């Protein structure tokens, strides 16, 4: 497929707990909540799992939608209507992916009853309820994971202005028709962006997975085991990578100086790391990097990929010895896989011939790019050769 | 993503020259042609290439649509309207992917003019024209690659019955409205299947690529270098693969006996081959297989993947010697890449411990499955380890 940003791509979405500077919140007095009807059975998908629970990069789709709503700080509560048989599944999702501000209610037999149950939970002014009564409720499909803050702001503002707070404003669905018929209020239709598409068929799951992979591959961090030196092979590789990865933000530097910088890069949600080892065939630098990533909890929401790059210089170290050393990557990779960190090794030939070296580096850059973009756990612990 | 067949999946599509037994053709006297307006600029896609020329598995999308029409034997001629600047590109596509029955006309400034130019070429009864005048013309979007024969049959039959032969019957588009307005004929709307979706946004290209990859991975062929013996490690691996690859047709047997069978398997459009070498660490069997594939021209339309599997038995051959041997796969892979054959190596540890052996085999099956499904040319020539 041709490279380039996806039509639906944007900056990587911050995870829970990290808030970007987004559009201004509606008037600070406005209390907004969201209800997600998620009682569907996913018949059209052709798979036994309801589509909101289908896995995309091994995480259920609904978790992406919750993440999109949670990063909007002015949405105070999110209520999910879920069937009784999926209640425990949903509780596990909330715990595993550390969702905050999410409450569960039981779904009704129809989508409208599910919405009604969510609204009722928000409206009840019980002393033991942790929910606060909102002025505006956004009803959002659990299977529209790519909703953006500005879209939600438009909906909330329109709802406030038009006084209709309990129905769905998406694209003139049956909810809008019901509101028009029974509520005697003037409904406002808010234009949606193409990003707001709904995961309906299995092909939409494929598309969602590709879009998410592309989003989390928009920033890569290159860590070097040497100080800066424009001439060495690590920097040549970096230049190749920058050529391959158009539109991708690349930051680089030595790990020994980069402790604090790296914390900042992790906070900015960089999910792709290339650890370039020029000086040694050991994994010490890679281990340090992986430990920092483990401590950061960065990999709770997305798989973090780490590629440990080594060079094979025929002069200095014997091939077999080096290979044996590098095969240790399998054990390390197995260990960190548990934490959703995908570790692969790459050995780049370092021939004396300048043209051949350029070929090796170019091939290495292609392998790195593919590992980052595909982010496939089947290749962890492999030692690839370029 | 959860495994299972895609909503839009079907049997692998036969390439040009191979005709499956499909639905009955319309009354044999009915002459049917197709016009594909392909003059679009692809603005919504957000990429500079018009969407009909965007590459899916390195082949332009329009070639998939032509393939879908060509395998319908009762469509006699296919006329593509293409802009002057893309005329050479289109000629190259026809030649490279060996399309037959395709003629080109110049696109007009609008979609309707492009359709008109296609119809005019079919209507002209010039002695030097290789086109025959049809009774029914199907107008088909160049960016709907998943059209099935039964759908085309419904459209052709409806057009014959309702006497409307020069407009688009897709989903009440502007063409249908024009026909109703100007032609004074009763138009018949034919219900489309979800498979008939149109590639519009970049996310649709992602979905198309995933669907095509899934289709061509529905049949795998395992070639063994030994005679049948239920006990040996190759057969254990085969069992593991059958477990991993639900819904996938697996055929297997030794290559030495399978020459004729293999020709049949190639004719049935199997695009995934696993060459299991139990007896040797040489590539002789793999080379034989690759040569048969080269001669067959199977890889003209889709990349054919070949995985050469070897076992690392500590008892018999020294590790380093074996590795050195196996590294030769890089040269062989580079050579056959030119022919769209993707060759990878897989070395499976063969420990004495039965439980550990099962682990190795399971991991090997996962790597094989992923290589087949992802079909990524960046991994050719790699020697993966399980």
Show contacts of B161-166: CB within 8 Å, 24+ apart: B161/B188, B162/B186, B162/B187, B162/B188, B164/B188, B165/B134, B165/B135, B165/B136, B165/B137, B166/B115, B166/B119, B166/B137, B166/B139
Question: Does A367 touch chain B if contact means CB atoms closer than 8 Å?
Answer: yes
pLDDT of residue B262: 85
- CB within 8 Å of A80: residues ≥ 6 apart: A35, A36, A38, A62, A66, A90, A102, A103, A104, A105, A118, A142
Q: pLDDT tens across B29-44, in order?
A: 678 999 999 987 766 5
Q: pLDDT tens across A254-307, in order?
A: 776 666 688 888 989 999 999 998 877 788 889 999 999 999 999 999 999 999
Q: Which residue, chain included where needed, has tokens 């030196």?
A: A229
Question: Does B85 touch chain A if contact means CB atoms closer than 8 Å?
Answer: no
pLDDT of residue A299: 96
Q: pLDDT tens across A214-249, in order?
A: 999 999 999 988 766 666 788 889 889 988 887 788
| Higher per-residue pLDDT: B209 or A136 | B209
Nearest to A2 among B44, B47, B208 (CB): B47
CA distance B376 to chain A (A): 8
HSE-CB at B180 with a 13 A cutoff on CA atoms is 10
The model's confidence at residue A84, banded by pLDDT at 50, 70 and 90, is very high
CA distance A61 to chain B (A): 10
DSSP designation for B273: E
The model's confidence at residue A14, banded by pLDDT at 50, 70 and 90, is very low
pLDDT of residue A360: 92
- How many Cβ atoms sit within 10 Å of the Cβ of residue A264? 11
CA distance A6 to chain B (A): 6
Question: Does A209 touch chain B if contact means CB atoms closer than 8 Å?
Answer: yes
Question: Does A384 touch chain B if contact means CB atoms closer than 8 Å?
Answer: yes
Q: Do B55 and A2 lie within an 8 Å CB cutoff?
A: yes
Question: Chain B residue with minimal CA distance to A210?
Answer: B206
Mean pLDDT calculated for residue range A25-48: 74
The pairing of strands B55-56 and B59-60 is: antiparallel
Nearest to B1 among A8, A209, A320 (CB): A209
Q: Do A6 and B202 lie within an 8 Å CB cutoff?
A: yes
3-state SS, one letter per residue, for chain A:
CCCCCCCCCCCCCCCCCCCCCCCCCCCCCCCEEEEEECCCCCCCCCCCCCHHHCEECCEEHHHHHHHHHHCCCCEEEEEEEECHHHHHHHHHHHHHCCCCCEEEEECCCCHHHHHHHHHHHHHCCCCCCCCCCCCEEEECCCCCCCCCHHHHHHHHHHHHHHCCCCCCCECCCHHHHHHHHHCCCCCCCECCCHHHCCCCCHHHHHHHHHHHHHHCCCEEEEEECCCCCCCCHHHHHHHHHHHHCCCCEEEEEEHHHHHHHHHHHHHCCCCEEEEEECCCCCCHHHHHHHHHHHHHCHHHCCCEEEEEEEEECCCCCCHHHHHHHHCCHHHHHHHHHCCCEEEEEEEEECCCCHHHHHHHHHHHHHHHHHHHHHCCHHHCCCEEEC
Q: Which two three-digit tokens encode residue A319?
A: 């091939």
Q: Which two three-digit tokens encode residue A44?
A: 């059209």
User: Could you list the pLDDT tens digit for every one of the 386 residues in chain B?
Assistant: 443 333 333 333 444 333 344 455 555 567 899 999 998 776 655 567 899 999 999 999 999 999 999 999 999 999 999 999 999 999 999 999 999 999 999 999 888 889 889 988 988 766 667 888 888 889 999 999 999 898 899 888 887 777 584 444 343 445 555 555 555 545 566 777 777 788 888 899 999 999 999 999 999 999 988 766 666 788 889 888 988 887 788 888 777 666 668 888 898 999 999 999 887 778 888 999 999 999 999 999 999 999 999 988 755 555 566 666 777 899 999 999 999 999 999 999 888 888 999 999 999 999 999 999 999 999 999 999 89
Q: Which two three-digit tokens encode residue A354?
A: 């300048």
- Helix B87-96 to helix B61-70 angle (10° resolution) is 60
Show contacts of B263-266: CB within 8 Å, 24+ apart: B263/B292, B263/B296, B265/B219, B265/B221, B266/B292, B266/B293, B266/B296, B266/B298
- How many Cβ atoms sit within 10 Å of the Cβ of residue A135? 15
pLDDT of residue A381: 94
Question: Chain A residue with minimal CA distance to B383?
Answer: A384
pLDDT of residue B384: 93
Nearest to A205 among B1, B194, B323 (CB): B1
Residue A176 has pLDDT above 80, yes or no: no
The model's confidence at residue A47, banded by pLDDT at 50, 70 and 90, is low
pLDDT of residue A300: 96
pLDDT-wise least confident of A172-181, A190-199, B229-238, B279-288: A172-181
Q: Which residues of chain A does B210 touch, with a Cβ-Cβ cutoff of 8 Å?
A: 203, 206-207, 209-210
Nearest to A203 among B47, B207, B384 (CB): B207
CA distances from residue B132 to B120, B137, B381 in whole angstroms, order as listed: 12, 12, 48
- Helix B329-337 to helix B284-296 angle (10° resolution) is 0
The model's confidence at residue A181, banded by pLDDT at 50, 70 and 90, is low
Nearest to A374 among B55, B323, B374 (CB): B374
DSSP designation for B216: T
Q: Which residues of chain B does A378 touch, with a Cβ-Cβ cutoff of 8 Å?
A: 366-367, 369-370
Helical residues (DSSP H) of chain B, grouped into ranges:
61-70, 87-96, 111-123, 149-162, 174-182, 202-215, 233-244, 255-267, 284-296, 319-326, 329-337, 354-374
Q: Which residues of chain A does B7 touch, with a Cβ-Cβ cutoff of 8 Å?
A: 44-46, 201-203
Q: Do A384 and B385 lie within an 8 Å CB cutoff?
A: no
Q: Do B1 and A370 lie within an 8 Å CB cutoff?
A: no
Residue A112 has pLDDT above 80, yes or no: yes
pLDDT of residue B222: 92
CB B28 within 8 Å of CB B80: no
Interface of B with A in 139-168 (CB under 8 A): none
pLDDT of residue B168: 43
pLDDT of residue A55: 95
The rounded distance, in Å, linking the Cα atoms of B39 and B55 is: 17
User: Residue B260's Cα: distance from chain center in Å?
Assistant: 23
CA distance B336 to chain A (A): 17
pLDDT-wise least confident of A88-92, A132-136, A313-317, B78-82: A313-317
- How many Cβ atoms sit within 10 Å of the Cβ of residue B359? 14
Q: Do B203 and A320 lie within an 8 Å CB cutoff?
A: no
pLDDT of residue A64: 97
The pairing of strands A272-277 and A219-224 is: parallel
Q: pLDDT tens across A301-351, in order?
A: 999 999 999 988 755 555 566 666 777 899 999 999 999 999 999 999 888
Q: Which residues of chain A does B247 touch, with a Cβ-Cβ cutoff of 8 Å?
A: none
What number of C-beta contacts closer than 8 Å exist between A and B?
Answer: 119
Concatenated DSSP letters of B52-100 = GG-EETTEEHHHHHHHHHHT-TTEEEEEEEE-GGGHHHHHHHHHHTT--
pLDDT of residue A222: 92
Residue A12 has pLDDT above 80, yes or no: no
Residue A118 has pLDDT above 70, yes or no: yes
A-interface mutation test, from B49, B206, B342, B365, most A Cβ less than 10 A away: B206
Tell me the three state secondary structure of residue B136.
strand
Question: Does B197 touch chain A if contact means CB atoms closer than 8 Å?
Answer: yes
pLDDT of residue B232: 77
Q: Do A8 and B202 lie within an 8 Å CB cutoff?
A: yes
CB A299 within 8 Å of CB A291: no
Residue A101 has pLDDT above 50, yes or no: yes
pLDDT of residue A125: 65
- Ordered domains of chain B (ranges, CATH): 32-205 (3.90.550.10), 216-385 (3.40.50.360)
CA distance A293 to chain B (A): 25
pLDDT of residue A46: 59
Q: Which residue, chain included where needed, has tokens 């969201």?
A: A34
Q: Which residues of chain B does A202 touch, with a Cβ-Cβ cutoff of 8 Å?
A: 4, 6-8
- Helix A61-70 to helix A202-215 angle (10° resolution) is 50
The rounded distance, in Å, linking the Cα atoms of A292 and A25 is: 34
CB A211 within 8 Å of CB A238: no
Q: Which two three-digit tokens encode residue A191?
A: 């234009």
- CB within 8 Å of B88: residues ≥ 6 apart: none
Q: Which residue, chain included where needed, has tokens 């591959």?
A: A217
CB B272 within 8 Å of CB B221: yes
CA distance B162 to chain A (A): 32
pLDDT of residue B135: 85
pLDDT of residue B259: 62
Question: Does B43 touch chain A if contact means CB atoms closer than 8 Å?
Answer: no
Nearest to A206 among B202, B206, B382 (CB): B206
CB A77 within 8 Å of CB A34: yes
């Amino acid at each position: 497929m041709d490279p380039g940003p996806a039509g639906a791509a944007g900056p990587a979405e911050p995870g829970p707990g990290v808030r970007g500077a987004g559009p201004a919140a509606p008037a600070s007095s406005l209390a907004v909540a969201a209800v997600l009807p998620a009682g569907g059975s996913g018949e059209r998908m052709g798979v036994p799992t309801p589509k909101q629970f289908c896995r995309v990069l091994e995480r259920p789709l609904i978790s992406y939608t919750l993440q999109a709503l949670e990063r909007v700080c002015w949405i105070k509560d999110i209520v999910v209507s879920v069937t009784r048989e999926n209640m425990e599944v949903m509780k596990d999702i909330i715990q595993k992916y550390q969702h905050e501000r999410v409450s569960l209610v039981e779904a009704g037999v129809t989508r409208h009853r599910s919405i009604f149950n969510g609204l009722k939970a928000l409206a009840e002014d019980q002393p033991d309820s942790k929910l606060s009564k909102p002025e505006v409720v956004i009803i959002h499909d659990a299977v529209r994971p790519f909703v953006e803050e500005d879209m939600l702001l438009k909906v909330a503002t329109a709802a406030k202005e038009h006084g209709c707070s309990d129905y769905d404003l998406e694209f003139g669905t049956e909810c809008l028709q019901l509101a028009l018929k029974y509520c005697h209020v003037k409904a406002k239709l808010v234009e949606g962006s193409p990003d707001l598409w709904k995961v309906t068929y299995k092909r939409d799951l494929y598309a969602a997975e590709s879009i998410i992979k592309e989003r989390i591959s928009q920033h890569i961090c290159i860590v070097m085991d040497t100080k800066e030196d424009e001439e060495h092979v690590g920097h040549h590789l970096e230049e190749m990578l920058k050529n391959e990865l158009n539109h991708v933000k690349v930051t680089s530097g030595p790990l020994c100086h980069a402790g604090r910088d790296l914390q900042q890069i992790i906070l900015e949600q960089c999910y792709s790391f290339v650890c370039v080892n020029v000086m040694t065939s050991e994994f010490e630098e890679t281990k340090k990097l992986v430990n920092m990533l483990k401590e950061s909890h960065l990999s709770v929401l997305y798989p973090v990929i780490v590629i440990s790059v080594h060079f094979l210089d025929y002069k200095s170290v014997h091939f077999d010895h080096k290979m044996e050393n590098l095969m240790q990557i399998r054990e390390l990779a197995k260990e960190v896989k548990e934490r959703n960190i995908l570790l692969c090794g790459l050995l780049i030939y370092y021939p004396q011939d300048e043209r051949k070296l350029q070929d090796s580096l170019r091939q290495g850059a292609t392998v790195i790019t593919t590992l980052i973009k595909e982010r496939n756990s089947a290749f962890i612990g492999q030692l690839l050769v370029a």
